[in-house]
Amino acid sequence: MADAGSGGQRGEGPVSDWTRIAVSYCQYDVSTVPGETGMPIYTVGDSLLHLGGPYQFTGFCGTHTGRIEARVRVLPGPPAEVKGGWDAISEATIWSPRGLLSLVGLMGGPPNALTDVAVPRGLIRVRVHARDRLHETVRTDDDPPERHELHIWAVTEESRRRTVLAGPGGRVWEQKPSTAAEWALLSLVPRPSGRAAMLPPPYEPDDDDDDADLDRVTVVRHRPTPVEIPAVVLPAGDLAIRLDRVDDETLRWTWTTADEPVFPDPLVTLPDDEPSTVRLTSGPAGFTLRHEGVRGRDAFALGVIWDHLLDSPGSYPWIETLRRQAAEATAPTETYRRRP
């Protein structure tokens, strides 16, 4: 994981005070775009955080319904070491188009101290620390309050979610990489008006948070065992992704229209007009994939897609959903054509 260059860093911001937030169902929400929805929880995550999309993740508490204490610390770069005194630590990368982050309990509104906290614009790494995660049925007056602390710093690479310290007795969640990959691909493909919506329209920045001035980023994935990326065309409904071989370690990723579109009114708008570069190298620690030159808002989805493609080559779980949507869109057209 790389930290941002000096041009994108800032000094450590003030540490917010410990603030009480009301939680329910053992959850709270961390978001850089409030209200933006994504993947359901229980798809990608561990016992402390579950990723929901480019802008959001869900944090997990021991308290089912009640109050916990939380605070945010913005750092100039990655921490040199993992501090002790915590029961569980996990981290993930999210996209911050506005340079603001909010922590919201699922009961009531967000506390002012944890609303629109100033963070770096662009990709940020968030490390969540938790301790004293006790359910209220076993908590006593002598127990300290449950506390969650978020450490945040700027990065230029989207790297995989990581469990730094597994909590005691934490539940091991089943990962669903194919479900996540389906969501990710469909979130990137624009949806014409009239098409059945599996997903809400993708978030588009407004004048206040336009990210066109932000540098493109790199998606990084590691595997300990050999992996291969063939030069292929990945199907994506009316669109396709071309992976063209450049040399032994390098391919070019290009969005294009499909030779045989599936919808009656074929989609022609591409998710990204600029080609990007995919590099696969080997070293003592295994194999590293670097997908360079991607838009920051697309980095999460592309990382999820690569997680699936590297482990299940040749499997495209989004195809059936796109075919079903195409069939539903085609049926009314055929009915109209057959009318006398």
Going residue by residue through the chain, which has 340 residues, state the pLDDT in tens, using 9 for 90 and above.
444 433 344 445 556 689 999 999 999 999 999 877 789 999 999 999 999 999 999 999 999 999 999 999 999 999 988 888 999 999 999 999 999 999 998 776 667 889 999 999 999 999 999 999 999 999 999 999 999 999 999 999 999 999 999 988 777 889 999 999 999 999 998 765 444 444 444 455 555 456 778 999 999 999 999 998 999 999 999 999 999 999 999 999 999 999 998 888 888 889 999 999 999 999 998 999 999 999 999 999 999 999 999 999 999 999 999 988 888 877 655 444 444 5
pTM value > 0.85: yes
Residue of 260, 276, 256 whose CA lies nearest to 268: 256
Residue of 242, 220, 221, 240 whose CA lies nearest to 231: 242
CA atoms within 13 A on the CB side of 279: 8
**Tally of residues, the chain:** 340
Return phi, psi of residue 181, to 5°: -65, -40
Residue of 94, 107, 133, 96 whose CA lies nearest to 28: 107
Under the phi-then-psi rule, with left for phi > 0, alpha for psi from -120 to 50, and beta for the rest, what region is 85? left
Amino acid at 61: C
Are the C-beta atoms of 38 and 55 separated by less than 8 Å?
A: yes
